[in-house]
Amino acid sequence: MLAALTLVAACGGGTRPGQGGTGTDDGGGADGGGASGSTVATAWGLTGGVNEVLYKESLGWWNEANPDARIGLEFFANDAYKEKIRTALGAGNAPTLIYGWGGGGLKEYVDNGNVVDMTAETANLVDRVLPSVAAGGIFDGKVYGVPNSQSQPVILYYNQNVLDEAGVAVPTTWEELMSAVATLNEHGVAPFSVAGQSKWPYLMWIQYLTDRVGGPEAFQAVLDGEPGAWSDPAFAEALTMIQDLVKADGFVSGYGSIAADANADQALLYTGKAAFLLQGSWIYSSLKVDAPDFVADGLGFTTFPEVTGGAGDPLDIVGNTSNYWSVSATATDEAKAAATSYLDTIVFDDDYTQVLLDAGGVPPVAGLEDTIAKADDAEFIGLAYDMVKQAPHFQLSWDQALAPDAAQELLTNLEKIFLLQSTPEQFVDAMNKTIG
């Protein structure tokens, strides 16, 4: 069955860009959008942004070429998805294609036998992507997850118009950032937007600051399970810097009730109510849709500032190396064959990569410099691509790198830091208890 499906995918290909037609499938529901043929597999993804476009397009190509082996597609908001997929895995009724972030979450799926080894079936796809990105789905030399989207470094976005009015330069050091905070407050503008209600946006701050202060070794000790690893001074120093920023009115009023799923943090940036937003590269496509005039004239972006005297390399980045597809162990053989054939023949082929570039995404594919230079969003994509390519260390988001229980404890305790309900010492003590 797998060989037959692969042949159809490679030779048929559906309506691709430049071949006429729309190149899309209505693709929204688990029934494959109601078109003729048979839906043999399912996929769950996240709403919004470049990924929704990418999965609809590429699964549309597959379904058009393989009407009797269609893959249905359903979307969920980020926070709702995380709960739904855990419930589905526990009940044994997960979709065929499981969306994830690699790291500790995927490792738990592997240890629990929730996902299958795809090493042989996805060898061509793995060869197409950057090794550092492919590694996020590989455990003990076996492929359990394959990249399916852009590399997603966390970027410092800013409203250039707001900065110009306040006479503030883009900060390159932490000291300059804190000085900018004071000046912006004097001009009645919130320095930073952050979606605190969602909790995970707080991670971007502690991740960058810990790395800038102490280098990647501090968090690696946590991942290695070293007793007392959270007692590394880099964590307490980073947490203190965060609370200094909070006390300096560094964040917009009411930040603890702002939700990322509603893109409210982005709206504060493009409406000029906040000067900066530390967020992932994935929000760029949403900004293009929600605020095209601002993207064309007003949006700026740069890397996270250095910490003077810190041990970390200022080229280090944090974020998500990519998103990943895994295949459910409870899927039928027919569903597994359809899913892995789609992955190996379509994901990150030339057309797939071009859709990602057109949407402002950063493909984890080598040798794209000339192509990116010609893209409509060359400045942004070029920055993000260079960040990924040049980074000595690309740290996966901590809530994805850690096992789910430890990740939840991290989010809970980090929220207390941002709301000034806990001290760095209390955070360290609580997190040390999650090791072992």
pLDDT of residue 5: 45
pLDDT in tens, 54-80: 999 999 999 999 999 999 999 999 889
Which of 3-7, 120-124, 203-207 is predicted with the least confidence, judged by mean pLDDT? 3-7
Residue spans of the domains in the chain: they are 2-150+321-366, 152-319+386-432
**pLDDT-based confidence at 225, cuts 50/70/90?**
very high
For the cut 80, the answer to whether the pLDDT of residue 17 exceeds it is no
**Residues 241/180, Cβ–Cβ less than 8 Å:** no
| Range 2-150+321-366 classified under CATH 3.90.1330.10 | no
**pLDDT-based confidence at 253, cuts 50/70/90?**
very high
pLDDT of residue 366: 86
Mean pLDDT of 5-15: 44
Mean pLDDT of 114-122: 98
> Selecting from 3.10.350.10, 3.40.190.10, 2.40.128.30, 3.40.50.2030, what CATH number does the domain 152-319+386-432 have?
3.40.190.10
For the cut 50, the answer to whether the pLDDT of residue 217 exceeds it is yes
The contacts of residue 408 (CB under 8 Å, 6+ apart) are: none
- Bridge partners of 159, per DSSP, are 299
CA distance 411 to 256: 13
For the cut 90, the answer to whether the pLDDT of residue 28 exceeds it is no
Most confident of 23-27, 127-131, 214-218: 214-218
pLDDT of residue 132: 85
SS (H, E, C) the chain: CHHHHHHHHHHCCCCCCCCCCCCCCCCCCCCHHHCCCCEEEEEEEECCHHHHHHHHHHHHHHHHHCCCCEEEEEEECHHHHHHHHHHHHHHCCCCCEEEECCHHHHHHHHHCCCECCCCCCCHHHHHHCCHHHHHHHEECCEECCEECCCCEEEEEEEEHHHHHHHCCCCCCEHHHHHHHHHHHHHCCCEEEECCHHHCHHHHHHHHHHHHHHHCCHHHHHHHCCCCCHHHCHHHHHHHHHHHHHHHCCCECCCHHHCCCCCCHHHHHHHCCCEEEEEEEHHHHHHHHHHCHHHHHCCEEEECCCECCCCCCCCCCEEEECCCEEEEECCCCHHHHHHHHHHHHHHCCCHHHHHHHHHCCCCCCCCCCHHHHHCCCCHHHHHHHHHHHHHCCCEEECHHHHCCHHHHHHHHHHHHHHHCCCCCHHHHHHHHHCCCC
pLDDT in tens, 303-356: 999 999 999 999 999 999 999 999 999 999 999 999 999 999 999 999 999 999
pLDDT in tens, 36-55: 679 999 999 999 878 999 99
Residue 104 or residue 227, greater confidence:
227
pLDDT of residue 35: 52
pLDDT of residue 339: 99
- Bridge partners of 311, per DSSP, are none
The residue written with tokens 């109510």 in the block is: 273
Mean pLDDT of 231-238: 99
pLDDT of residue 49: 79
pLDDT of residue 23: 35
pLDDT of residue 359: 84
Mean pLDDT of 2-16: 44
Mean pLDDT of 257-269: 96
Which of 15-29, 73-87, 268-282, 301-315 is predicted with the least confidence, judged by mean pLDDT? 15-29
**pLDDT-based confidence at 24, cuts 50/70/90?**
very low
Whole-angstrom CA distances from 195 to 200, 418, 422 are: 8, 11, 19
Residue 346 or residue 13, greater confidence:
346
Average pLDDT, whole number, for the chain?
92
pLDDT in tens, 391-428: 999 999 999 999 889 999 999 999 999 999 999 999 99
pTM greater than 0.85: no
pLDDT in tens, 184-216: 999 999 999 999 999 999 999 999 999 999 999
Same CATH fold assignment for domains 2-150+321-366 and 152-319+386-432: yes
The residue written with tokens 């061509």 in the block is: 124
CA distance 219 to 235: 9
